[in-house]
Homo-oligomer: A and B are copies of this chain.
Amino acid sequence: MSIVAVGSIAFDTIKTPFGVAEEIVGGSLTYFALAASYFTDVNLVAVVGEDFGEQQMRVFAGRRVDLQGVEKAKGKTFRWGGEYSYNLNSRKTLFTELNVFESFQPKLPESYQQADIVFLGNMHPSLQLSVLDQVTSKRIVGMDSMNLWIETTANELRDALKRVDILKIDDSEARQLSGEYNLRKAAAAIQKMGPQMLVATQGAHGSMLFNAADIFAVAAYPLEDEVDPTGAGDSFAGGFFGYLAQSRSLDEATLRRAIIFGSVMGSFCVEDFGTRRLERLSFDEILDRYRKIKTLTHFEDV
C-alpha cells in the first residue's frame, strides 16, 4: 500500500536550552514523510517557495518519497520559529510566516489519485477536504488537526471528520474537540463525529488508541537524551500510518503494533535537532527500539 500525504514543508528555526538550529528543513509533512518512508512509499502534496532548492530537497533523496506533488510557487517558503523551555515540554512560537503556504491549493498528480491511505496533515479543513475530493479510490483516511482549527473552523472541521477513518491528535486537542475532559468520553464523542479510531498522543507520557470498543495504551519510551521535540507528533503519525500501509491490514493486533512504531519514530525524532535523527536511522534501530518498548512494558499475568 502507498500513502498520499498532504502537509507543510517549511524552514524551521528552533531554539532549545541545548542549542539553536536556523532555517533547517522542517514542516509537518517532512517529518511525516521521513518517518513513513522507512515502511512504505510516500507521495507528497505540498508547496515550497523559490528559496527551496536542490540543497533543501536533499533531505528526501534516496528515500521512498515521491515529490511530483510538491509544487514550487512564486515567493518564499513557509517559515516557523519556536523556542523551548528547559524541560522541553512547553514551547513558545517565535514567528510564523505562511508565505506561499497562505494561498496553497493542493493539487494531486494523476498518479496519486489511486491512493490506498490518505493522510491529511494539520491544516485548514477545507484544504484537507479538497485533497479527499481528488482521490478516486476507496481508501483509508487519516487526519491530524489542532486547536486553531477546532476554535476557528469548527463547521468545516466537522464536515471533514465525517470522511475520516483515523483521527490522530493530542489528548488535549481530543478534549477540546469533544468538550469532554475524560479521555474515554472524549473518544466516544469523537467516534460519533465520523472517525472509527482515535489515536491520542500524550507527548512524553505515551499514547492511546481507541478503536470501536477496544482501547490500547502504551507509555512513552523513556529517552536518555531529549534534544528537540519538534516534529515528534508528525513522526509518530508517519510511523503509525507507514506501518499500516506496509501491513495492509487494520486488525487490532496490527493497529497496536502501528502505535508502537509511531511511538518509536516519535522517540527517535526527539533525540536530535530537526530531522537529523530521522535522516540517519536504520531499520534495525527501529526494530531494536520496538523490542525495547516490548521489554520495557512487559508484565506477567496473575
Contacts and interface: CB of A to CB of B under 8 A. Distances in A.
Interface stretch (A29-37, A50-58, A127-135, A179-187): A179-187
Interface string A287-302: 1001100101111111
Interface in A244-302: 253, 256-257, 259-260, 287, 290-291, 294, 296-302
Nearest to A298: B256
A206 B205 contact: yes
Contact of A257 (B86, B222, B302): B302
Interface centre among A223, A225, A300 (most CB of B within 10 A): A300
Contact of A219 (B219, B256, B291): B219
- How many copies are assembled? 2
Given A182-B225, A205-B202, A297 B300 contact: no
B181 A86 contact: yes
A216 interface: yes
A166 interface: no
A297 B208 CA distance: 10
A219 B217 contact: yes
A87 interface: yes
Contact of A260 (B185, B220, B296, B299): B299
B302 A218 contact: no
A100 interface: no
B259 A296 contact: no
A296 B223 contact: no
A224 interface: yes
B216 A257 contact: no
Nearest to A290: B302
A296 B216 contact: yes
Nearest to A218: B219
Given A208-B222, A219-B206, A222-B215, A257 B299 contact: yes
Nearest to A299: B256
Query: Can you list the 9 inter-chain pairs with the closest CB atoms, starting with the nearest?
Result: A217-B219, A256-B299, A205-B205, A87-B181, A219-B219, A206-B219, A184-B222, A184-B224, A253-B300
5 contacts: A183-B222, A256-B298, A287-B302, A291-B301, A291-B302
Given A206-B206, A217-B297, A253-B299, 14 more contacts: A88-B181, A185-B224, A208-B219, A208-B222, A215-B296, A217-B219, A217-B220, A218-B219, A218-B297, A253-B300, A256-B298, A257-B299, A287-B302, A294-B299
